Amino acid sequence: MNDSSSFSLGPDSRGTPASMAAPAVATRRGATARLLLRILLQRGLQAAVVAALVGTLSFVMMRLLPGDMAFRVAAGRYGYDMVNAAAAEAVGAELGLDLPWYAALASWWSRLLHLDLGTSVVTGAPVGTEIAHQLGHTFALALAALTLSALIAIPLGFLAGRRAGGLADRGTLMLSIVLRALPPFVLGVLLVLALSVELAVLPAGGHGEHGNWVAPTLTLALGLTATALRVSRDAMAAVVRSPYFLFARTKGLSDRMAMWRHGVRNAAVPVVAYLGVQLVYLLEGVVVIETLFAWPGIGHALVHAIFGRDVPMIQGTALVMGLLFVALNAVVDLACAAIDPRLRVARGRTA
């Protein structure tokens, strides 16, 4: 009777001894699992710190603003023409605005620990419900802007990097400089003047009508494209100069095949990593662009909450935006590890 273990030294389908293939696979899986756990723990700790800082600082800053908070909240509810001292006093008593700041902050933290963001002091609706509705519009705008930016920046950047110093490289450099020099609100105003006022082909703002999304999406996308162009260009230029790409060309691969097999994936790593940096611009730009174009997203809601001194709404929106930044950066970390196996091995060893 033969013992099946006597055949464990036979090669597997890839020519690797079976006794060595299984431990190697287990090692790779273990490194991947450790990397995933490490990323989740790091980002989870960062999310807790962000929640503590954003929630506390937004509360304190609103308390330090000059003016009567009860009057501003009452004006947000009833309108400035209908507000008097009695209405402001009644709103202050109803919302407990006469409580000490530390008691109000402790009450908000207690609700947050129970996953309750509170109630808007202006509309009376739950903050979580309003944010969930607004996030859909913000995600739609951000996703459209990121997609359009990638469609513009990555092909142009890779084309410029293939021929560093050439005409395409110089042209994209000038385009990047011009776009980077324009703040988002200036770029948005220029697009409104050109597309809505002069050409009258798009509405100047709003939501729900045909073409409302074009101008804000284009404004955000062009701002994102400014730096993504150069990152894509530099990544591709580094690949073209690399020894492994030169070796691929030397062993007989065509330029297109060498670029597809060895160029695109390696150039994608810094481009994807830069998306984490782009998220800062995107989150900041959403507030400005949504306000400029009256887009009903979370940035637009945050501005209106600040004007109305709606502290629960301010804390909730600021908290969600901060946690979104942490979550999206975690997604970028995982995407980089999926693209480049070297990151899984290196981080797995240090985990």
Backbone angles phi, psi at 98, to 5 degrees: -85, 0
Percent of the chain topping pLDDT 90: 0
Quick one: pLDDT at residue 1? 44
Quick one: pLDDT at residue 49? 87
Query: How confident is the model over 241-257, as a mean pLDDT?
Result: 76
For the chain, the average pLDDT equals 77
Backbone angles phi, psi at 145, to 5 degrees: -65, -45
Asked if pLDDT for residue 54 goes beyond 60, the answer is yes
Q: Shortest CA distance to 310 belongs to which of 135, 83, 125, 50?
A: 125
SS3 annotation, 223-285: HHHHHHHHHHHHHHHHHHHCHHHHHHHHCCCCHHHHHHHHHHHHHHHHHHHHHHHHHHHHHHH
Distances from the Cα of 25 to the Cαs of 32, 101, 261, 298, 343, in angstroms?
Answer: 11, 57, 23, 45, 16
For residue 148, give both structure tokens.
């359009």
Asked if pLDDT for residue 171 goes beyond 60, the answer is yes
Backbone angles phi, psi at 126, to 5 degrees: -60, 135
For residue 109, give both structure tokens.
């933290």
Cβ atoms of 161 and 233 closer than 8 Å: yes
Q: 127-350 has which fold?
A: MetI-like fold (1.10.3720)
pLDDT band at 147 (very low <50, low <70, confident <90, very high): confident
Which residue ranges make up each domain of the chain? Answer: 127-350
Of 222 and 331, the structure prediction assigns the larger pLDDT to: 222
Cβ atoms of 11 and 17 closer than 8 Å: yes
Query: How confident is the model over 231-245, as a mean pLDDT?
Result: 82
pLDDT by residue (tens digit) across 190-200? Answer: 988 988 888 87
Backbone angles phi, psi at 114, to 5 degrees: -100, 20
Quick one: pLDDT at residue 26? 57
Quick one: pLDDT at residue 92? 76
Percent of the chain topping pLDDT 70: 82
Quick one: pLDDT at residue 65? 73
For residue 59, give both structure tokens.
């509360």
Tell me the DSSP string of 87-139.
Answer: HHHHHHHHHTTTS-HHHHHHHHHHHHHTT---B-TTT-SBHHHHHHHHHHHHH
For residue 93, give both structure tokens.
């008593």
Quick one: pLDDT at residue 7? 38
Query: How confident is the model over 78-104, as a mean pLDDT?
Result: 75
Asked if pLDDT for residue 169 goes beyond 60, the answer is yes
Asked if pLDDT for residue 274 goes beyond 50, the answer is yes
The residue type found at 69 is M
Cβ neighbour number for residue 47 with a 10 Å cutoff? 16
Residue 151, SS3 per DSSP: helix
Distances from the Cα of 257 to the Cαs of 237, 247, 262, 264, 270, in angstroms?
Answer: 17, 13, 8, 10, 21
Residues present in the chain in total: 351
Quick one: pLDDT at residue 24? 54
Q: Shortest CA distance to 101 belongs to which of 69, 77, 124?
A: 69
pLDDT band at 351 (very low <50, low <70, confident <90, very high): very low
Token pair 């306000």 in the structure block, residue: 291
pLDDT by residue (tens digit) across 3-47? Answer: 444 434 444 444 445 454 555 555 566 666 777 788 788 888 888
Query: How confident is the model over 310-322, as a mean pLDDT?
Result: 85
